[in-house]
Amino acid sequence: MDGTDLPGRGEPLRARFLSGGTQNVIYELTRGDARCVIRMPPPDAPSDRDRGILREWRIIEALDGTDVPHTKAIGVCDDADVLGRPFYLMGFVDGWSPMDQHAVWPEPFNSDLSTRPGLSYQLAEGIALLSKVDWKAKGLSDLGRPDGFHERQVARWTGFLDRIKGRDLPGLEVATGWLKAHGPLDFIPGLMHGDYQFANVMYQHGAPARLAALVDWEMGTVGDPKLDLGWMVQSWPSSDSDDAAMSYVDMRGMPSRDQVVAHYAEVSGRQVDDLDYYLVLAKWKLAIVLEQGFQRAGDDEKLLAFGPVVTDLMASAAELAESTDYRG
């Protein structure tokens, strides 16, 4: 930090663990009045996480100067000799995460339902603004392969499922066949998050709801930003009484799926008439992603719980595919 002339020179360095697991660890670092956050793979993380960390850094650095709420890019170190793994430093976000609340929103969003719609509209606005980033001008032309993006989705994830498959998934053939036969009405490549949901954003304190930062860029790439939208709303509850949908947060008082999708369209300038395609793709893809966890669950209760979620998602993808009149 001293070698790159960061604030706090001469002050003692204090570290506070914030979060982490098998893929990444995150600590708050403080030197005097200066605060930042370090993100790096733990010692036993797979070797490809080193490339992943440097990839995340490129996205965070590219967001500087854009309208996308993001953590400030402070510095990166690709030399594993310094701390054992590559790492980067980003700005400390003085805000709150929905995942810190144990499914209970902080005040005033908990007791005043009239404040809640803003949480959803801000969530949609985050990826709408992300979709407008000029990724070529930001030097991210080699971050992903937008050409053939949708064709590769089906081929890549069916191949992945074949390698891990341990059971039949009802609806898989129907949903896969439908995706092979359909595509979006248009495809405008852009920067996408890859795992966009309430779990991966932070809000500023207090009302009205305001996004503080999009976080956790492990799946970030250049692809189709509208897949972020489909991912975000694929399990959006149909009503306040739909307790099975998005049960990790309290969705009472939130706007309808159509309303948040319309807000995304207004901010992003993209058409959303092909939403059904993205909903089928998102449900189908998420089912396959979660199936990996279920197949390696052993006696891990959290991973075992993915089992019925996977089958429900795949059945829902197939049901939507069969019922929609979408012809794209």
Report the distance separating Cα 145 and Cα 141, nearest Å.
8
The owner of tokens 């209970």 is: 104
pLDDT of residue 102: 77
The owner of tokens 């709420």 is: 69
Contacts by residues 294-298 (CB-CB < 8 Å, ≥ 24 positions apart): 295/164, 295/165, 295/166
Helix (H/G/I), strand (E/B), else coil: 96: strand
pLDDT of residue 10: 87
Q: What is the dihedral of CA 164, 170, 174, 179, to 10 degrees?
A: -40
> Angle 149-164/275-295 helices, nearest 10 degrees?
30
DSSP result, 29-59:
EEETTEEEEEEE--TTS-THHHHHHHHHHHH
Q: Bridge partners of 75?
A: 89
- Is domain 13-92 classified as CATH 3.30.200.20? yes
pLDDT in tens, 6-15: 989 889 999 9
pLDDT in tens, 167-216: 999 999 999 999 999 999 999 999 999 999 999 999 999 999 999 999 99
- Start-end of CATH 3.30.200.20 domains in the chain: 13-92
pLDDT of residue 243: 60
pLDDT of residue 100: 87
Report the distance separating Cα 24 and Cα 117, nearest Å.
32
pLDDT of residue 36: 96
Backbone angles phi, psi at 269, to 5 degrees: 80, 10
Helix (H/G/I), strand (E/B), else coil: 277: helix
With pLDDT > 90 as the criterion, what percentage of the chain qualifies? 89
Q: Rg for the chain (alpha carbons), in Å?
A: 20
Q: Which ranges of 107-221 would DSSP assign to H, the alpha helix?
A: 117-130, 149-164, 172-181
Average pLDDT, the chain: 94
pLDDT in tens, 78-98: 999 999 999 999 999 999 999
Six token digits for residue 231 = 């991912």
Neighbours of 81 (CB within 10 A): 6
The CATH architecture annotation of domain 96-323 reads Alpha-Beta Complex (3.90)
- Start-end of CATH 3.90.1200.10 domains in the chain: 96-323
Report the distance separating Cα 127 and Cα 63, nearest Å.
12
Give the H or E element holding residue 265.
Answer: helix 257-268
